[in-house]
Structure 1
Amino acid sequence: MTNHRPVSITFTQELPSGFFCTDDLIPTAIARTSKTNTPIALNCRRRIFSAGGYFAHSQDFERRLIIETYINNEHVFPDEETANIFLQLVGRNPKKSQYILFMPKYDIKSDVVILLVNASKASKILGLSAYYGLFDVDVVPAAPTCAAIFRPLIEPNRIHINFIDYFDREYQAKGCFEEEEFLVSMRPALYKKLCVAFTKSAHGNSKPNGLPIY
């Protein structure tokens, strides 16, 4: 469905053989796994103050610190009220774990599947979801890139669209993503359904018939 390998995300308390912890942040781990076919593990308990540490690793950073960063350092929001609404909308990873595993393949036993896409590929994926009557997608404006690995746990029946946060595109993960690339993520069971729809829908490899070509 895409030009890159799907990335399966698993939250676990133990580090399996074949995985090695790296110093990657979540956005670079997604890009490296998808584009270089490299399995990666991140240690959730490393004390790095970042959006990923707060949202995805669910580390016990004070909420006040992330709010001050968004307002005073990044200037993403003008005031505390708006920042609090945003934090409530994004939520936090409901799974507490020691490690996050990034695997360059589809795994039905994983927690989340992420696809690196452009607009054309995303249109096809959303078209495949429409085959099953799924018309409501999950988009949070200004969402951190790391939200892609856990939003499907909060909204399991929706496809999450993540446009890759400006801070990652321009600073933390600069050069890892093409300008037109962004992320879609979902639960593995939903990804499996889309693979089935791919063989049946014109948004996949089924050809329309009986229609005039204008």
Structure 2
Amino acid sequence: MATVGPVSSPGTTPESLAKIKVGIVDDDPLVRSALGLMLGGQADIEVVGEATDGQEALALVRTSAPDVVLMDIRMPRINGLEATRRLMSEPQKPRVIVLTTFGADEYVVDALAAGADGFLLKDTPPPEIVSAIRAVAAGEPILSPKATRTLITRLRAEPTGERAAAAGRRLEALTEREHEVALAVGRGLSNAEIAKELYLSIPTVKAHVSRLFDKLGATNRVQIAITVHDAGLV
């Protein structure tokens, strides 16, 4: 599992990559404006729309199809957590980064359980927000250092017998290879690292991860990791 930091690949630059379409969802116009100005200066990022609450966010995704949505939590009508849950049911669901001023433990866990691929505080430095967008667009979950500590604390807590048993039952449905990939995801390995460790191609790893989403009822890698940890396997 990645934390916020620079994201780049050898031989590539932001200018050589396809533009990442981003939607901004926040009820504060100053926040939307600041994020828009910051992202507007990136050669590989395009802001395709803004929304003032979760209900507008659903419409934004259906009309503009952003790759990544920056989602506030506390908003009128539909809050960011509920909007994220609903977006995960969309035919073309985006990646979601929850960007909030609230770092409370329950928000971190709830956001990830809802299907968010990232959790950042709004005081995160702009370059790190940009790096997080690029990473999430590439399929890597991103958590702020505080959110990472919160999740680690949650995973280290002794799972209840019921939760551990439920996680174990879900994992029993996996093939041997899928089980190996799930354990690797639970250890925080990237697709490239899993491919190297299990002697697989990266496309094959991606295919296995996609099947894990279906079989485990997960919408992102963090949820796979939580299932593995709940089962006591990592």
* Structure of higher RCO (CA pairs closer than 8 Å, 6+ residues apart): 1
TM range (shorter): under 0.3
The TM-score with structure 1 as length reference comes to 0.27
Higher helix share: 2
